[in-house]
Amino acid sequence: MSGAAATRFSLNQATIKFASLTEAVDATVAAGIPSIGLWREPVAEFGLQASAAYVRDAGLRVSSLCRGGFLTAVEAGARAAALDDNRRAIEETAALGAPALVLVVGGLPAGSRDLAGARERVRDALGELSLDARAAGIQLAIEPLHPMYVADRAVVSTLGQALDIAEQFDARDVGVVVDTFHVFWDPDVLPQIARAGASGRISSYQVCDWNLPIATDALLSRGYPGDGFIDFESLTRAVAAAGYEGDVECEIFRQDIWDAPYPSVVETSLSRYRELVEPYL
């Protein structure tokens, strides 16, 4: 493994979920990684301005902020609260100097089976939030989630569907996340990556693997690149060919990785990136 810097690698903070903001930043810097993907909760805990200063003083880029979204509520009060929360998240994204706010759009409201309606409400909400994103100079990044999360997390399940929504707005304001875990299964994924890149809508490229069996908590089924079933070469080549020049985040939710020491997790994430992703960028 070369000792040269992985100049486009970003550690998503969720990969070391239990680290504080400062611990995550310190572990990232210690590994020679130039960028970090932040989450709102640890940022809020340390303070927004303090976090922005700490990251800046550490010399790190912020590749994205996770996350906004949850835009499917029917009830007016819940809908207004969601929009307000997303407006705060947009402000935070700008304050941290991140280019994009990742959106998990939300599942079905309690008792509802109306996927089409929920999807329309997502689009309508983006119509409002895209103006705030423009004002703040950041891009809203719709993350299609694996279809196993359609009922409870995200009614947007494919890259094509995310782009059908995003393309109703200016590309400066609304893009999409390409997360290998969520999209690798899609027979249409390569042309949709090309489509996303052609209009400048790849907001973020996130890498982690699809492992089996599906974890008891289905959110935690991810793994280090190389431990599962995903072909990172074809996906990474497609993202590169589509013109994406941003950072590549490693974002893993997995209990045994969360339970491991931060430095070893960071080192393994980095080495897998260098082996399985970086050669194809």
Task: For 141, list phi and psi in degrees, rounded to 5.
Answer: -115, 105
Instruction: Please identify, using beta-carbon distances, which residue of 102 and 230 lies nearer to its own copies.
Output: 230
Instruction: Please identify, using beta-carbon distances, which residue of 57 and 217 lies nearer to its own copies.
Output: 217
To the nearest whole angstrom, how small is the minimum distance from the Cβ of residue 47 to its own copies? 35
To the nearest whole angstrom, how small is the minimum distance from the Cβ of residue 57 to its own copies? 41
DSSP reduced 3-state for 64: strand
Instruction: Give CB contacts under 8 A, 24+ apart, made by 81-86.
Output: 82/106, 82/125, 83/125, 83/128, 83/129, 86/125, 86/129, 86/132
Instruction: Please identify, using beta-carbon distances, which residue of 25 and 250 lies nearer to its own copies.
Output: 250
Whole-number Å distance between alpha carbons of 90 and 69: 11
To the nearest whole angstrom, how small is the minimum distance from the Cβ of residue 177 to its own copies? 17
Give the binding site for its own copies (CB under 8 A). Answer: 108, 113-116, 119, 146-148, 150-152, 156-158, 161, 164, 184-187, 210, 212-214, 216-218, 228-231, 234
Instruction: Please identify, using beta-carbon distances, which residue of 123 and 172 lies nearer to its own copies.
Output: 123
The full 3-state SS of 85-153, as one line of letters, equals HHHHHHHHHHHCCCCEEEEECECCCCCCCCHHHHHHHHHHHHHHHHHHHHHHCCEEEECCCCHHHCCCC
To the nearest whole angstrom, how small is the minimum distance from the Cβ of residue 39 to its own copies? 23
Instruction: Please identify, using beta-carbon distances, which residue of 97 and 160 lies nearer to its own copies.
Output: 160
To the nearest whole angstrom, how small is the minimum distance from the Cβ of residue 119 to its own copies? 7
